[in-house]
Each structure stands twice: as C-alpha cells, then as structure tokens.
Amino acid sequence: MTIVTDDRGNLLGAVQGHSLTQRDGDIEAGVNFAAGHQLHYVDVDDDMATVTDAGTFQQRLIQHLPKP
C-alpha cells in the first residue's frame, strides 16, 4: 500500500498497491500529489481490504508510518 502524508506527517490518504499509474489499452491514468507530500510504500496485512470502519482503517495505516 502507498500511504500519503503532508509535510507535517499528517495522514492524507492511501492507495492500494505501490503503483500510482494504470494502463488499459490506450488509456493511462495516474495519481499525483502536491509538492511536500510524502509517499510511504509499506506492506500491510491482507485483511486491510476488508476494514469498513474509517477510524480503524486510519489507525491501522498510522501504525505503518515512520516515527518522527
């Protein structure tokens, strides 16, 4: 998973996988983030895809971020 933080280390979001682009035939899409945002490429537990509670999901993501 790719976790995105701002320049102060606050969690902004996450993208499943480590690739931020996808190609399907002649169409290619990508995800970009503003300058100063940091990307953290981490391995998470397989069950992260089944977490439905936003607060639980956020807390589990934060556990994977480097400590300041």
Other beta carbons less than 10 A from residue 31's beta carbon: 13
- Helices first, then strands: H and E counts in the chain: 1, 5
Give the tokens for residue 48.
Answer: 């992260």
Phi and psi torsions of 62, nearest 5°: -60, -30
Predicted local distance difference test score (pLDDT) of residue 33: 85
Could you report the per-residue pLDDT of 17-26, keeping only the tens digit for each?
888 888 999 9
Predicted local distance difference test score (pLDDT) of residue 40: 93
Could you report the per-residue pLDDT of 31-65, keeping only the tens digit for each?
888 889 999 999 998 899 899 999 999 999 999 99
Place of tokens 């994977």: 64
- Distance from first CA to last CA of the chain, Å, rounded? 20
Give me the count of residues in the chain. Answer: 68
| 68 pLDDT higher than 80 | no
